[in-house]
Structure formats: C-alpha cells, structure tokens
C-alpha cells in the first residue's frame, strides 16, 4: 500500500512537538501515553529540556526500549553544561501524582481516544486542574478524515473508544479551557488533498493549550498544600552527566590539565634540546587534521589553535580575553609562563596551561580557580607553592635508569623522583 503521508503521520506529530519545543524552550516536559518512548527518544537530544518524563499505563511498552534513553559513552566522555534527567512511570493519566505537577509542557499524542468517555472527564481534571502545566499539546484522530483512509471501516485502531469530529474535539477543548483557565489554538498534521481541506481538515487534529497568565500563573498551583499523592510506579530514572556537577567538572578538568601539561612539557623539552628547527608541538586543527605549531608561534597566537582531548565546545570565554584580567599568584593571567626543571620533573606553570588551553580556561574560569581545583586532586602533582604542575621527564628517567643499571652494584639504589631538588640531584651525581 502506498503510504498516505510522507514523512509518516506519527513522525509528523512528533515533529510538531519538537518544533514547539524549539520555539518555546520548556525545561520540564511530560509525555503522557509515551508507549515505547519513541517521542522521548527524540526529545532527549533537545538539551534545553532538563527533566523529561514519560508515563504510560502499559509497563511492558515502556520497558521495551527504555534503555535507549540512557546516556551513551560520549555523554560521559564529553559532558556538556546541560542538565538532563529522565524518569519513566507506569500509571494511569486518570490518577494524580504529585511528581507531575508544575511542568512547562505536557504532551498527549494519540492517547485520549484510548480512554472511555467517563475517564476523559477525569483525565481533563488531572491534566488541566491538577498537573496544571504551562502548555499542553493534545493530538487525536479527526474522524472526518476517515473516509479518505482506504479500506478503513470503523475506528483507526481496535483499542480506540471513540474518534472525534473537529467540532467534538473543539467542544471538549473549549470546555476544559473555561473550567481550568487555558486558551487553545487548533491545528493538525496530515492535510487532506487540495480542494477537500476545508471540508475534511487534518488527519490528526491538534489542540495547543496555554495556561492563562503563563508561567507565573502556573506556579500558583491549585491545592498546593494538599497531601502529596504518589500513585505512579517509577520504572526508570537516569541523570545525564553534566559539567554542573562538581565531581564531573573536576574529572574533566584534570584530564585536560594532565594531557596539556604533558604536551607543553614535550614542546618545552624539544625547544631546550633544539630538536628540529621548529621546536614544536602537535596540535589538532579545527578540521580534525594535524599540524605542527611552533611553540614560539603558539605564544603569539595565545594557543588559539590548541584543542584538548575533549571537543572544544566554546562555552565560557577567557577572562583575559574579555579584558578582566584575573589575579594569578600576584600577577595577571600571563603569570609565570616559562616551564622549568625541578629534579626529574618539568614544572608547567598553571598560568601557562591556562593561557594556552582554551578548554582549561572555559572549565576553570580563572587561574586561581584552576589552582583550587587541582590542589587536592590525587592525580595531579603540584609544585610546593602550587603554581605549576609537575610532569615526569620520562626520557631523563630512562637515561638515568640505564646509568643506574650500570651502577647497580655501587649500592646506590634510592632515587625518589620529583621530591629531589635540582641541588640534591647534583650532589647525588657528584657523590657517584
Ligand atoms: N504517544 C505515543 C506516540 O506518539 O508514539 C502513542 C500512544 S499509543 C497510540 C496510546 C498509548 O496510551 C498506549 O501506549 C497506551 O498504553 C496508553 N494508555 C492508554 N490508556 C492509558 C491510561 N489510562 N493512562 C496512561 N496511558 C494510557
């Protein structure tokens, strides 16, 4: 059979919701009658949403695909500042549950026609009177369109309890608005062929409801002091990793710092040993390719081309770029910029890390914040004054290990790494 609509009608209904969300940016969204979470799985990519909830009476339908709502590995590897929690409940829309109150948007897509007419009244009271969201989108079949559906006799689905004409739907919607303080606009998806549009209307009719008084009115929920009711069963709950969680921010920042401290150390060593004319560091270009960037050039460009192991998401701006120069260890964010040696380690100043790595800047905000983040982190070793990251010079370690192997029988076996000062190391070498 040739499909009547392209894209298919269910996709058009979901796209209608997505377009509404793009325009209105609701933070808390509930999908009633979420079935197999098809709409929710599309909505999870709209990160203006902070809380996404699905409710259905049929727990088997919910659980079928619910794990597809879970974060994927990139959500953990590249967390953003957005926050998203998802909750799925088994329950009936004819029953109240306090966890569903005060939302910005409730969607009810092809659900209402599955309720007995007596339950429609209860549903209207629960949705508009108790949940009282800022906006509601209700879609339901338009029975006037049915004669255009080839081979259809009776309702479009065996579980439908009724199918409304446009007048019946509009009469229900206007009554709800009157009772609960909403206004409504009527539209739909799946237009009739040209010439029949006026007479037949859309295949799926849609009412978009807005609470009178908008968000402010929605905060004054009727019966706010009423005893809290929890009639739904929580089936699934997940919080996406977010940089607003301090533990996650710390983990990401530390991994950036360790990565860039190593890169900067290598560049500095190459420069010191004069290896290659370019004394350079590898850095990724915007296009994902690689180019060699001279450390001297890099200093001039402020390291703009540098990208960390994580995607540079461009959040936050360097305070120095904005001209609000941050105090860093008594200086501006130029601070101590030159790496230096301490024992077997190279010390990479935090000020250098901060000014070279836009991602570190964006994540920490200032050199002093960066210092505070790193101070007690077990993965990062700082110099005693806390102004630089200590990075092992493995090449030197290797050279010395070879020397050490030769000298093993001298009885000199203790060699602590970065705890040795340069002076101590000289003494040690002199003793040998
Ligand atoms: N909204 C879904 C979509 O857009 O993909 C499709 C909904 S499906 C046609 C109707 C859903 O309503 C079913 O999953 C059914 O289990 C659910 N349902 C029926 N009566 C319900 C009730 N009283 N409370 C909650 N869900 C109900």
Q: Which of 199, 221, 239 is a domain's end point?
A: 239
- Rounded to the nearest angstrom, the gap between the alpha carbon of residue 297 and the centroid of all alpha carbons in its chain is 35
Share the mean pLDDT of the chain.
82
Backbone dihedral region of 247: left (phi > 0), alpha (psi from -120 to 50 degrees) or beta? alpha
Residue 339 lies in a domain: yes
- The whole domain housing 305 covers 246-395
Q: Which of 191-200, 386-395, 400-409 has the lowest mean pLDDT?
A: 400-409
- Residue 220's pLDDT band, with cuts at 50, 70 and 90, is low
Q: Which of 239, 264, 293 is a domain's end point?
A: 239
**More confident: 75 or 319:** 75
153 and 228 in a common domain: yes
pLDDT for position 144: 97
Mean pLDDT over 7-32 rounds to 98
254 and 337 in a common domain: yes
266 and 187 in a common domain: no
How far is the C-alpha of 200 from the C-alpha of 4, rounded, in Å? Answer: 15
- Mutate which of 56, 89, 100, 206 for ligand 1? The one with the most ligand atoms within 8 Å of its CB, which is 56
- Mutate which of 35, 100, 109, 113 for ligand 1? The one with the most ligand atoms within 8 Å of its CB, which is 35
Q: Residue 279 above 60 pLDDT?
A: no
Q: Which atom of ligand 1 is nearest to the CA of 31?
A: 1
Residue 283 lies in a domain: yes
Residue 413 lies in a domain: no
231 and 272 in a common domain: no
Pick the most confident of 146-155, 223-232, 275-284, 407-416.
146-155
pLDDT for position 272: 86
Taking CA atoms only, the protein residue closest to ligand 1 atom 15 is 33
pTM, two decimal places: 0.78
Residue 176 lies in a domain: yes
How far is the C-alpha of 61 from the C-alpha of 199, rounded, in Å? Answer: 36
25 and 78 in a common domain: yes
- Residue 14's pLDDT band, with cuts at 50, 70 and 90, is very high
How would DSSP label each residue in 230-275? Answer: B-SEEEEEEE--BTTSHHHHHHHHHHHHHHHHHHHHHHHHHHHHT-
98 and 23 in a common domain: yes
**Residues paired with residue 31 on neighbouring β-strands, in sequence order:** 54, 107
Taking CA atoms only, the protein residue closest to ligand 1 atom 14 is 35
pLDDT tens column, 121-168: 999 999 999 999 999 999 999 999 999 999 999 999 999 999 999 999
Mean pLDDT over 60-74 rounds to 96
Q: CB under 6 Å to ligand 1: residues?
A: 10, 33-35, 38-39, 55-58, 61, 92-94, 109-111, 114-115
With CA atoms as reference, report the closest residue to 83 among 41, 46, 43, 50: 50
Residue 420 lies in a domain: no
Residue 427 lies in a domain: no
Mean pLDDT over 292-319 rounds to 36
pLDDT for position 403: 62
What is the distance in A from the centroid of ligand 1 to the CA of 149? Answer: 22
Backbone dihedral region of 193: left (phi > 0), alpha (psi from -120 to 50 degrees) or beta? beta
Total domains in the chain come to: 2
Residue 423 lies in a domain: no
């Amino acid at each position: 059979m040739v499909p009547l609509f392209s894209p298919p009608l269910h996709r058009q209904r979901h796209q209608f919701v997505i377009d509404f969300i793009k325009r209105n940016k609701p933070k808390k969204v509930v999908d009633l009658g979420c079935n197999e979470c098809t709409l929710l799985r599309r909505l999870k990519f709209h990160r203006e949403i902070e809380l996404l909830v699905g409710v259905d009476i049929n727990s088997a339908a919910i659980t079928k695909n619910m794990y597809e709502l879970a974060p994927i590995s990139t959500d953990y590897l590249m967390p953003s500042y957005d926050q998203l929690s998802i909750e799925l409940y088994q329950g009936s829309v004819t029953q109240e549950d306090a966890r569903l109150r005060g939302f910005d948007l409730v969607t009810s897509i092809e659900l209402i026609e599955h309720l007995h007419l007596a339950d429609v009244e209860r549903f209207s009271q629960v949705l508009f009177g108790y949940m009282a969201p800022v906006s509601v989108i209700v879609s339901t079949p338009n029975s006037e369109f049915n004669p255009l559906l080839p081979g259809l006799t009776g309702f479009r689905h065996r579980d439908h309890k009724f199918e409304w004409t446009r007048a019946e739907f509009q009469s229900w919607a206007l009554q709800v608005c009157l009772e609960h303080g909403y206004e409504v606009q009527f539209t739909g998806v799946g237009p009739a062929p040209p010439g029949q549009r006026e007479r037949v209307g859309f295949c799926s009719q849609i009412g978009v409801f807005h609470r009178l008084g908008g968000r402010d009115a929605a905060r004054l929920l009727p019966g706010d002091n009423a005893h809290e009711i929890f009639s739904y069963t929580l089936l699934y709950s997940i919080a996406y990793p977010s940089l607003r969680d301090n533990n996650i921010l710390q983990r990401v920042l530390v991994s950036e710092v360790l990565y860039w401290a190593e890169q900067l150390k290598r560049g500095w060593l190459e420069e010191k040993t004069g290896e290659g004319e370019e004394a350079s560091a590898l850095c990724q270009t915007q296009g994902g390719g690689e180019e060699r960037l001279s450390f001297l050039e890099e200093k001039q460009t402020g390291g703009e081309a540098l990208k960390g192991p994580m995607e540079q998401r461009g959040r936050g701006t360097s305070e120095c770029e904005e001209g609000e120069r941050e105090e860093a260890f008594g200086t501006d964010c130029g601070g101590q910029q030159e790496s230096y040696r301490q024992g077997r380690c190279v010390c990479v100043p935090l000020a250098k890390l901060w000014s070279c790595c836009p991602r570190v800047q964006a994540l920490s905000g200032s050199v002093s914040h960066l210092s505070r983040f790193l101070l007690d982190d077990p993965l990062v070793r700082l110099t005693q004054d806390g102004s630089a990251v200590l990075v092992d010079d493995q090449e030197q370690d290797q050279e010395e290990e070879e020397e050490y192997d030769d000298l093993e029988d001298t009885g000199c076996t203790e060699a602590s790494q970065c705890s040795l000062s340069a002076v101590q190391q000289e003494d040690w070498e002199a003793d040998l």
